[in-house]
Amino acid sequence: MSVQAKREARLLTAEEQAEVEASRHPAIIQLSRPELLGLIRRLRDHRDRAQGIARQQRREIRGKGDPRGAAPARDNLGSIAKAQVLAQALKRANAELSRRDTPEEAAPTQSDIAHKALAMKQAARVARHPNAGRTASLGMAAKPSHRDTVQMDPREIGRVSQAVKVAQARRDA
């Protein structure tokens, strides 16, 4: 017997133990839908009861609630563990019910998922938006200048042009 099975046997009553065992793999597949729904309802009732007891014990430990037994509870670890075991069984049963309710053809295969991902990637690559241009950023940034990087003094341009005219006139004369 495994450690988990021993722990569950110690925590649960015989009825709860039978229902937890019914929520495990070989047994749960053989249950009909009405039987599975009944199992879920019973597991939920047992879980809610265990959670309620754990909550009451927690209040007793803190001194907020009146003791229900002869002495106030010293810890509630057993009740919490019992609620966790029942919650796990309920989760397995709910998963089996949702698996049965999902149609076979509606569940996508790995190939379908890969094809859809590829199509989404290709569509994202085609539909690009234009660049937004300069946007705000952290701190100050230099604005790029669109002017010529070398600027000449207009007087220099005139001086060179006049020198070319004078030189051409000397050659012509």
- In this prediction, residue 18 carries a pLDDT of 94
- In this prediction, residue 63 carries a pLDDT of 85
Query: Which of the two residues, 17 and 147, has the higher pLDDT score?
Result: 17
In Å, how far are 43, 47, 97, 130, 145 from 135, measured between CA atoms? 59, 57, 53, 13, 16
pLDDT-wise least confident of 25-29, 36-40, 64-68: 64-68
Query: Which of the two residues, 21 and 109, has the higher pLDDT score?
Result: 21
In Å, how far are 97, 110, 116, 165 from 119, measured between CA atoms? 33, 14, 5, 69
Predicted TM-score of the model (pTM):
0.58
